[in-house]
Structure 1
């Protein structure tokens, strides 16, 4: 029987009002061979005591504080959690998001039904939610399928102008050791940079027909934007330079694919630091070469805004 250990790794910071709901969604999994590692980035609220209740009631839960030798940030917490984890497969989960009770079971069964046990990633359906999961149905049907390569999925991200949250993925542990851990220096788009590296290494992407993940939005009144400071703008650009480089090296091409060009349009339309645009004109080009889009009505903006809120609030 195929029954591998799954490591669920959750970075957290001051999530006392939300983390219990997240941990309950883990506890409710019909697939039972998992460990859940919560790494606290220095919470000053009741996060620790709430997680402690789960640890006391179920030995599969672990609570750790980010070591002082690690820099502050969700990525350092994710990396530490991975270093102490033991699972053959890994799921990254944020401390305010949820997973359906059949998600792990569906993703593990998807692997067991194929001959591909290594170098694989399993995806799932997903959607946003706010206060309730009632009537929340899966979205992004275009990419709810198997792929022969990770590059094909990345191409479809560009074709359909899509982003997906990190917790749709169940990742073979070997892929993470092969492709490298999370970039602890990036302030923005860390998941995009990380998962492009992972996807370019996979042999096959499998899609689980059942189960889904829920990405919370509207959890904070914080209006912080990806483009609210010059430093964040610079890191946004740098993350896409890295992504573009990985793809070009992988495909042995000189020009950017549509996925990256879509991101360039977003950056050009929303970064207003002239010196910064000048510094990276070699990568971004000029605003005049792109047709102006109403970025604030697009799904990429809504996704990036929520991602940044998560980074700020963890």
Structure 2
């Protein structure tokens, strides 16, 4: 049995579309938990109505923390099935998603399995994907998969004490996917597209000028937290990975200048090294 955990803050119309994609699944051995992340009273009332109209049972709970990472952790603590899929409310699962992923699990003993998600940018499907086979070097600087790409074993999450970082509200998925990769020796990637990832408008195309200071800081923190985790597990990035890390830090510093965060730039330039 699979637990599908759906954090939501506002955007009830997108939640309705996401839940419809769950109704259409060819594999129906799953339970849905919607975690309300402090939506407005009006939006919460709409969310209640949408959940009530879902063709199946939904457990609607209110998160005790703030932000999507806290909602995902809260949902995990309040569910108990063998497999877990975290599914953001603005994304879409294709009808074969759960059946495809559970069949991959049954073919071997995995900690998690990953299938691809195709990007939707400004309402259009584009030839970009999450969930591609990452670099085999666990010390590599990479973003292996987005939230809905991975079906995860609950036992693996509990045994390895993996949690969503509630202190990093913007790039927690980056940290989470790397931590899963670093702590697992039993996972697999599929080339099959099983979901659509809705790319926020602010992150389509060139994003340097669209990053606010909070998002810039969250990306710096994600890089630093991943580096600490790699060091703890005696993983050393190769030359290519070190160059990519340097390029991304330069990109973030350039975003500071584009947005006029000059004092923050002066405080952050040492993070290049």
TM-score bucket (shorter structure): 0.7 to 0.9
- Residue 174 of structure 2: aligned partner: 192
- Residue 108 of structure 1: aligned partner: 102
CA distance in 1, matches of 2:189, 2:144: 16
- Residue 228 of structure 1: aligned partner: 212
- Residue 297 of structure 1: aligned partner: none
Cα distance, 1:58–1:140 mapped onto 2, change above 3 Å: closer
- Residue 203 of structure 1: aligned partner: 185
**Counterpart among 23, 31, 37 of residue 35 in structure 1:** 31
- Residue 113 of structure 2: aligned partner: 122
Cα distance, 1:283–1:131 mapped onto 2, change above 3 Å: closer
Q: Contact (CA 8 Å) 1:22, 1:97: kept in 2 or not?
A: yes
Q: Determine whether 1:79 maps to 2:73.
A: yes
Cα distance, 1:154–1:186 mapped onto 2, change above 3 Å: same
CA distance in 1, matches of 2:252, 2:11: 30
Q: Contact (CA 8 Å) 1:103, 1:212: kept in 2 or not?
A: yes
- Residue 213 of structure 1: aligned partner: 195
Cα distance, 1:19–1:191 mapped onto 2, change above 3 Å: same
Deviation at residue 81 of structure 1 after TM alignment? 0.4
**Counterpart among 235, 250, 256 of residue 271 in structure 1:** 256
**Counterpart among 6, 13, 24 of residue 10 in structure 1:** 6
Q: Contact (CA 8 Å) 2:10, 2:43: kept in 1 or not?
A: yes
What SS does the corresponding residue of 2:28 show, helix, strand or coil? Answer: coil
CA RMSD in angstroms comes to 3.2
Deviation at residue 225 of structure 1 after TM alignment? 6.6
Q: Determine whether 1:91 maps to 2:85.
A: yes
What SS does the corresponding residue of 1:179 show, helix, strand or coil? Answer: coil
Deviation at residue 168 of structure 1 after TM alignment? 0.7
**Counterpart among 46, 55, 58 of residue 61 in structure 1:** 58
Cα distance, 1:238–1:32 mapped onto 2, change above 3 Å: same
Structure 1 stretches lacking a partner, 5+ long: 286-314
CA distance in 2, matches of 1:107, 1:154: 26
CA distance in 1, matches of 2:74, 2:152: 17
Q: Contact (CA 8 Å) 1:226, 1:233: kept in 2 or not?
A: no
What SS does the corresponding residue of 1:183 show, helix, strand or coil? Answer: coil
What SS does the corresponding residue of 2:90 show, helix, strand or coil? Answer: coil
Structure 2 stretches lacking a partner, 5+ long: none
What SS does the corresponding residue of 2:32 show, helix, strand or coil? Answer: strand
Q: Contact (CA 8 Å) 2:8, 2:89: kept in 1 or not?
A: yes
TM-score, normalization by structure 1: 0.72
- Residue 20 of structure 2: aligned partner: 24
TM-score, normalization by structure 2: 0.81
Cα distance, 1:65–1:139 mapped onto 2, change above 3 Å: same
- Residue 304 of structure 1: aligned partner: none
Larger strand proportion, structure 1 or 2? Answer: 2
Deviation at residue 237 of structure 1 after TM alignment? 1.3
